[in-house]
Amino acid sequence: FPIIGMEPAVKPAVEMNRTTGKRVLVFATPLTLKQTKYNELISRVDDLSIVDSLPLPELVHYCEELNFDENFMIDYFKSKLSLFNIEQYGTIVLGCTHYPFYKNILKKILPEDVQIVDGSNGTVKRLIQLLGENGQLNETGQTNVKFMCSNNDIEYIEKTKQALSYLQDER
């Protein structure tokens, strides 16, 4: 079966900012930022040297703990962004699968003209392409999705449902 990899959506972000004079800020895990694949991506698409990277190691942990406390997260992001003149940026790239859960919180603290992008759209397009090529694409839009959880903690399950609703609001 095919495996579809994700990478930070740096290329579309650079293209969005090519004529604006604005910079791109990539949020990612420290591991992602150290990988050769990421650095080769930056070298390949950032011919204007407008991409900066911000490691956010705690954010994956917060997401996996289902920490979506708005005040706490706003303070966290403000602290991390205090290192940058955010007015210079046109796009923030959410470079980890966990980060889109915080998109709505980020919108509350970023200037309105700063766009937020993540790699999920490109990944979904690739998935649709592969499913189509393999005759596995269900084009009716009707399907059943069953989530299973080995954790029987009702509070955890309810928090997980709430977290998924944050993503659903974005689609």
**Pairing mode of beta strands 89-94, 115-118:** parallel
CA 64 to each of CA 71, 73, 102, 106: distance values in angstroms, whole numbers, following the listed order? 18, 14, 12, 18
Q: What is the pLDDT of residues 46-94, one digit of tens each?
A: 999 999 999 999 999 999 888 999 999 999 999 999 999 999 999 999 9
Q: Is residue 168 very low, low, confident or very high in pLDDT (cuts 50, 70, 90)? A: low
Count helices and strands (H / E) in the chain. 8, 4
Q: Is the pLDDT of residue 136 over 90?
A: no
Q: Is the pLDDT of residue 170 over 60?
A: no
Residue 20: its pLDDT value, please?
Answer: 92
Q: Is residue 171 very low, low, confident or very high in pLDDT (cuts 50, 70, 90)? A: very low
Cβ neighbours of residue 143 under 8 Å, at least 6 residues apart?
A: none
Q: Which residue in this structure is represented by tokens 């210079």?
A: 88
Q: Confirm if 84 and 55 have CB atoms less than 8 A apart.
A: no
Q: Which residues partner with 94 through β-bridges? A: 27, 118
Residue 1: its pLDDT value, please?
Answer: 63
